[in-house]
Structure 1
Amino acid sequence: MSIENIRQFIKEKAEEFGAKMDSEFNKSYVERNNTGQEPLKDNGAYFGFIHPEEEVSGPFHDFSLTIFPNDQNKPWLVCLGIGSSGFKNDYELATYPGLRRLFSNLTNERGFCKTDFSDIETSLPKSITGNPSLQHIKNTIKTYTKVLPTCQIVNDPESEEGKEVIAAFVAGYAKLRDWPTNKDHRKAVTVALEPFLKTEINDKAEEVESLLMERKYIVLQGPPGTGKTRTAKGVADNINAMTFFTQFHAETSYSDFIFGLRPDTANEKLRYRGYLGSFSEALKHAVEHSSKKVVLIIDEINRANLSNVLGPIFYLFEHKMDVSNVEIEISPNFKVKKLPNNFFVIATMNSADRSLAVVDFALRRRFAWYPMTPKIINGQNKKLENVSVNKVPNEEFFFKEDFAVIEEIFNWYASSTELNLQPGEGYFIAKNETEMLNRIRYEIFPLIKEYLQEGLLRNAKEEFNNYFSTRINLSLFE
């Protein structure tokens, strides 16, 4: 395996991704190359890129693209490293969740990715330091064990698979250093990373349906605009079920959901009548029509006080309850020991609403929880007033470039919790450019501004502001 061939390969990839080496004062990286016969013999060989402000030799700071090679036809180790002098310019960058998110996609079971890229105190795990296939560079690994936040074993760097991994690490470093300056650079980076990035399936209805058949009671949770309610209705229709629908709110009570008394306004004299709630109506229909599937959709399930609303029926939500000697009274003359096999519940929960009650663990155990994340809508590509869009039903369009910009900002800057705030794909569907601009101006812009005012996504404020200033000529800070 030729070290010089791979050195040349990564330099060509760096240039393809936007790296500049025009002069001493305009360069994107400093190359380090310590691959002479002595370093190779002593297991200390390495080459790669470091920050352009660093020297060509000696200790250095900040993130590096580092490759530990050998000339024995044995595996190499491709790494994102940190200089032995620690952080100088890159500490804030190391704290961005998106950096770890990106490189975690580039590693598999033969690699490693730290949970905290700013950590230069924790050593590599034994899966790397004690790996039998890396014993030929064990001294090198031992030397740098605390400053390698992520690494990947590459069996043959000159194979197609090996070059694919190395190119992806160079692309990751290019994003880290912000090398791409035009569309061609960005496309080249995307192409290099694409084989490693996890892609969401476009239509999750089939998966949700399968989960519903298995677990019977499920919750679709995710940010607004991800199609939770639409998916619930679609699944119910697809299994040819009788559908009952209710939406919870802060004042939803046991009498609304199960059974209650209400004034009979049709009579001159005041009297009260019993009324079945939405749950009881659906359940009664399921009991009386045992050959027909019945689905109760509970929209915004976490907007109500669930302990008060569910009362004793909480006990019934056991999807594997075969036999029960406990009879629960649903209403006068209506008691059940278990929910019938043809009765299903699909609930939805808005994960972006921070003001709502936390769902307790007992309820979580009784329901299956399916995440609904923002996803690109695939379809017919079409240009609409110079905006790249995908066609969706009813002559509406999915504005994928706007979606992609917002998604990239969230992926790079948002914590795991803040990812639940990303506007779903429904925000980016419009009939034309004018309607899309209005959606950005009057829906997405106020939403992001509110997040920032609440202290969320602070590191992303300039990225968001640049997007809105460019797209709708509005600043978040005026």
Structure 2
Amino acid sequence: MAYKQNLILQGPPGVGKTFVAKRLAYTLLGARDESRIETIQFHQSYAYEDFMQGLRPDGAGNFYLRNGVFYEFCKRAGQSDQPFVFIIDEINRGNLSRIFGELFQLMESDKRGPAHAITLTYSEERFFVPANVYLIGTMNTADRSLALVDYALRRRFAFIELAPAFGVKFQALLEKEGLSTEFIHILVNKLEFINKVIHNDRNLGSGYLIGHSYFTHPQMPEKEWFLRIIRLEIAPLLREYWFDEPDQAEEQIQRLLA
């Protein structure tokens, strides 16, 4: 990440994208220092005025200039030589061109610092992204309602794909939490089977797999806990995946519940 300074963690639901982003931030900082981390979440109403700078009503019929969260973050980072990490959860939910505006060029690692400062849209102030700022975004690859990521953003970010991990470490975690070895094997076999079905479906694929984080906080009794997650979280997701093939959805749900 050091060479690019901008990273997006992408993957299907439940692979721990936000969890990994926070741990990666701690690694970059060299400490669990929340004062040097800012976390926000993009949505369809999020705008440049929220992110950078904009005019806001003051309640008396006038407008004032208010700085956005990224502007304030960069100002804090510019007063320090230590690394700062800005995390954007669900980065592909926002209108990226509208949110970033002229910042696209400033996000590049070789365009950091005062030598590349530009004038902002709402003020005459010259602004730059400090060299010690790192950006980490997360992106859900299974949300059909979202448009493809802006190519201007793709060129400025490195991308890492996170996948479901039902291997040795996951199984050791469940065993440590008190689940029986036999039940862990049943759980893993069921989830690996449904993920194979999803992966081989020409309308879905690897971006729609079921992640391990749905099952990282087990409760007892183990069977009831597992069935509750399937009914309340996984089943609605599968019905959405196969919205045009309800028989397929119900077949796979019943296989998980069996």
TM-score normalised by length of structure 2: 0.82
Report what 2:228 is aligned to. 438
Q: Distance in 1 between matches of 2:159 and 2:230?
A: 30
- Number of paired residues? 242
SS at match of 2:110: coil
* 1:301 equivalent in alignment to 2:91: yes
Report what 1:284 is aligned to. 75
- Give the percent of matched residue pairs that are identical in Structure 1 and Structure 2: 35
Residue identity matched to 1:223: P
Q: Distance in 2 between matches of 1:469 and 1:388?
A: 13
Q: Distance in 1 between matches of 2:12 and 2:210?
A: 6
Contact 2:45 2:94 in 1 (8 A): yes
Alignment of 1:11-410 (within 5 A): 212-238=1-27, 239=29, 240=31, 242-265=36-59, 269-289=60-80, 291-321=81-111, 327-330=117-120, 332=123, 334-337=125-128, 339-376=129-166, 377-380=170-173, 381=175, 384=179, 388-389=183-184, 401-410=186-195
CA RMSD in angstroms, aligned pairs only:
2.7
Task: Sort the Cα spacing of 1:464 and 1:281 in 2 relative to 1 into closer, same or farther, 3 A.
Answer: same
Task: Sort the Cα spacing of 1:451 and 1:359 in 2 relative to 1 into closer, same or farther, 3 A.
Answer: same
* CA deviation profile, 1:379-401 (whole Å, cap 9, x unmatched): 25366367534xxxxxxxxxx64
* CA deviation profile, 1:85-138 (whole Å, cap 9, x unmatched): xxxxxxxxxxxxxxxxxxxxxxxxxxxxxxxxxxxxxxxxxxxxxxxxxxxxxx
Task: Sort the Cα spacing of 1:363 and 1:225 in 2 relative to 1 into closer, same or farther, 3 A.
Answer: same
Q: 1:466: Cα distance to partner? A: 4.4
Residue identity matched to 1:300: E
Q: List gaps (5 residues or longer) in structure 2.
A: none
Q: 1:415: Cα distance to partner? A: 4.1
Task: Sort the Cα spacing of 1:435 and 1:465 in 2 relative to 1 into closer, same or farther, 3 A.
Answer: closer
SS at match of 1:467: helix
Residue identity matched to 1:221: Q
Contact 1:282 1:295 in 2 (8 A): no
Contact 2:113 2:131 in 1 (8 A): no
SS at match of 2:9: strand
Task: Sort the Cα spacing of 1:370 and 1:431 in 2 relative to 1 into closer, same or farther, 3 A.
Answer: same
SS at match of 1:232: helix
Q: Distance in 2 between matches of 1:446 and 1:371?
A: 24
Q: 1:334: Cα distance to partner? A: 4.0
Residue identity matched to 1:439: I
Larger CA Rg, structure 1 vs 2: 1
Q: 1:288: Cα distance to partner? A: 1.8
Q: List gaps (5 residues or longer) in structure 1.
A: 1-211, 390-399, 471-478
- The one of 464, 470, 475 equivalent to 2:252 is 464
Higher normalized strand content (fraction of residues) = 1
Task: Sort the Cα spacing of 1:323 and 1:281 in 2 relative to 1 into closer, same or farther, 3 A.
Answer: closer
Q: 1:463: Cα distance to partner? A: 5.8
Residue identity matched to 2:106: L
SS at match of 1:262: strand
* CA deviation profile, 1:55-94 (whole Å, cap 9, x unmatched): xxxxxxxxxxxxxxxxxxxxxxxxxxxxxxxxxxxxxxxx
Residue identity matched to 1:428: F
Residue identity matched to 1:244: E
Report what 2:208 is aligned to. 421
Higher normalized helix content (fraction of residues) = 2
Q: Distance in 2 between matches of 1:335 and 1:288?
A: 16
Q: 1:324: Cα distance to partner? A: 8.6
* CA deviation profile, 1:292-330 (whole Å, cap 9, x unmatched): 211111111111111111111111121233789653234
* CA deviation profile, 1:438-477 (whole Å, cap 9, x unmatched): 1111111111122122449x8x65761441341xxxxxxx
